[in-house]
Amino acid sequence: MNIHSYEKIWLVLATLLIVGLISTVTYGATAVGVEMVSDSGGTINASALDEDPRFSEPRVEQVGDNEYAAYVVAQQFIFKPDPITVPANSTVTFYVTSPDVIHGFEIVGTNANAMVVPGEVTELTVEMNEPGEYGILCNEYCGNGHHVMEGKLIVQPESEFQGGETDG
């Protein structure tokens, strides 16, 4: 096969670019430890969330030293609990599921962003730094009220944060 020498150079550069792109992500996933959404949340009966100890009462719970679990239900067209309140300088693992249709869970202005699929539990770990307020929105079309589906995440100063419970 007859390949022009310029085209050969181009082929090599293109391959290097591709290998480079794959390497950066692999490096992030292994060496830096960027955790990504996977199947770790397990599955759930979407019609029986109220029978599940995690989701019958959506809430934030302390699970370790500076570690919290947030059990969140995304449904047409709200998030529960709302607001979600967590302390600053903590690690929060969100467990999110849906009783009805597919939703999105996006903490606005951050890279905390995942799909919520009925029958599955999305597990997403986020480092909380400074105190502040963030919007939460649904970024997957979920029905004709999709655009009103929003929530709030309040990151409180550690001194003000009371226990792990917030009311839904």
Partner 1 sequence: MAEALDAGAPTFADRFPQEAAVVKAALTSSFVALFLGAIFGIVQGLHRTNVLREIDSQYYYTILTAHGVLMVVSFTIFFLVGLFTWATVRSLDRPVVDIRYTWTWYGLMLVGTLMAVVAVLGGFFPSVDISADVLFTFYAPLQAHPLFYGGLAIFVIGTWLAGADWFRAWWAWKQDNPDERIPLQAFMVLTTMLMWYIATIGIAIAVVGFLLPWSLGLFDNINPLLTRTLFWFWGHPVVYFWLMPAYLLWYTVLPTLSGGRLFSDPLARVVFVLFLLLSTPVGIHHQYVDPGIAEGFKMIAMTNTMFLLLPSLLTAFTVVASMEHGARQRGGTGLFGWLRALPWRNPAFTGMALAGLMFAAGGFSGMINAGMNINYLIHNTLWVPGHFHLTVGTAVALTFMAGTYWLWPQLTNRQLYSRPIGLAQVVIWFVGMALMSNAMHVMGLFGVPRRTAEPQYQGFDFLASFGSITEFRLQLALGATLLFISTVLFVGNIAASSGTPKRSGHGRPLSQPLSGAADSPAVLDNLRLWFGIAMVLVVLAYTLPLVSIIDGGGLLGRGVEPVPVIAEPLTTLAEPLSAAAEPITEWAKATLGGVLR
Q: Which 109-148 residues touch partner 1, going by CB under 8 A?
A: 109, 111-123, 133-135, 137-148
Q: How far apart are CA 101 and CA 98, in angstroms?
A: 7
Residue nearer to partner 1 on the CB measure, 75 or 90: 75
Number of residues that bind partner 1 (CB under 8 A): 76
C-alpha distances (whole Å) from 112 to each of 19, 107, 123, 152, 159 are 27, 6, 11, 13, 25
Nearest to partner 1 of 77, 88 (CB atom): 77
Q: Does 24 bind partner 1 (CB under 8 A)?
A: yes
Residue 71 beta carbon to partner 1: minimum distance, rounded to whole angstroms: 14
Out of 12, 36, 157, 158, the only residue in the binding site for partner 1 (CB under 8 A) is: 36
- Of these, 58, 81, 87, 151, which contacts partner 1 (CB under 8 A)? 151
Task: Please choose, out of 62-70, 76-84, 86-94, 157-165, the segment that lies near partner 1 by the rule CB under 8 A.
Answer: 76-84
User: Rounded to the nearest whole angstrom, what is the least distance from the CB of residue 65 to partner 1 in the complex?
Assistant: 26
- How far is Cα 121 from Cα 15, in angstroms, rounded to an integer? 37
- Find out whether 77 and 146 touch, Cβ atoms under 8 Å: yes
Bridge partner list, 114: 105
| Pairing status of strand 59-64 against strand 84-87 | unpaired
Which residue, 61 or 82, has its beta carbon nearer to partner 1? 82
CA gap 17, 90 in Å, rounded:
37
Q: Which is nearer to partner 1, 95 or 161 (CB)?
A: 95
Single-letter residue type at 154: I
